[in-house]
Amino acid sequence: MGKLTLDRVLQSQGFGTRKWCAELIAAGEVSIADTTVTDSRATINTDGLEFKIFGEVWRYREHVYIALHKPANFECSRKASHHPGVLTLLPEQFTRRDVQPVGRLDHDTTGLLLMSDDGPFIHQQSSPKRHIPKIYVATTHDPVTPELVAELLAGVKLHDEPAPLAAVSCRMVDSHRIEIVLEQGKYHQVKRMLAAAGNHCAALHRAQIGKLKLAELNLAEGEWCYLDDAQLKLLAP
């Protein structure tokens, strides 16, 4: 059972500094169980806590685990340079509580992106030692051939890698699309593997991480959702 003062509850959830949160509370902008609370030092049980700020309902979360359907032309960086950052697609308090992308998708790649403020979770999901499969659908510039699929399965040599990199699985979707499953997560891996196999990646979409499928989350591009415990278990290798 966790207990915090109300100003610390709001601060932990990214609503601002402790002083600013205390001012919100004193101004009557915070309510719990439909009762306005004006004492910022009131001790609150955080287990299952729901509260309202400016009439909007929030649930206390020690950490947040988020799935985002990333659109094209957004950067997976907290300091974006050429395109907007993916954090601009989330409520601003997530930035204040240090939510970060789990790994990266290129700015022009769409699909499933995990985000969290839980450091160990981010490390675990990013670690190549865990061998978490990721499923991508790549649109190719040239037609897909059986030889292309066979070469990606056998492994292609990239100039900065000591050994050939092979897809865990690969299949033809249609004349210009392949589904490819990878575990390594190397820099621009799908694009570079296609180039090494003599084709070119025209578009790339990440459809699945582990057993978590983007299609089953029912998210339009740019939309996000919290992940529950059952969904988080799907991320295990």
Of 13 and 127, the structure prediction assigns the larger pLDDT to: 13
Range of lowest pLDDT (65-74, 75-84, 87-96):
75-84
The DSSP output letter for 188 is T
Our measurement of the distance from residue 198's CA atom to the centroid of its chain's CA atoms, rounded to an integer in Å, reads 31
Residue 86 tokens, joined: 């993916």
Which one of 82-86, 182-186, 228-232 scores highest in mean pLDDT?
228-232
Sign of CA dihedral 104, 110, 111, 117: positive
Please tell me whether residue 205 adopts helix, strand or coil conformation. Answer: strand
pLDDT at 59: 95
Centre a 10 Å sphere on the Cβ of residue 221 and count the other Cβ atoms it contains. 13
CA 174 to chain centre: 28
pLDDT in tens, 110-155: 999 999 999 999 999 988 788 899 999 999 999 999 999 999 999 9
The overall longest dimension of the chain from CA atoms, in Å, is: 69
pLDDT at 207 over 90: yes
Catalytic residue among 34, 106, 160, 228: 106
- What does pTM read for this prediction? 0.91
**Domains in the chain: ranges and CATH:** 3-59 (3.10.290.10), 65-128+212-233 (3.30.70.580), 133-209 (3.30.70.1560)
Contact 40/26 with Cβ under 8 angstroms?
yes
Residue 109: pLDDT above 60?
yes
> Computed from CA positions of residues 84, 88, 94, 99, in that sequence, does the dihedral angle turn out positive or negative?
negative
Output the six-digit token pair for 175: 């004349």
Query: Could you tell me which residues are beta bridge partners of residue 52?
Result: 31, 57
3 state SS of 145 = coil
For this structure, is 108 an active site residue?
Answer: no
Across the range 202-223, mean pLDDT stands at 96
Residue range 30-66, pLDDT digits in tens: 999 999 999 999 999 999 999 999 989 999 999 999 9
Q: What is the pLDDT of residue 52?
A: 95
* Residue in 74, 70, 90 with CA at minimum distance from that of residue 82: 74
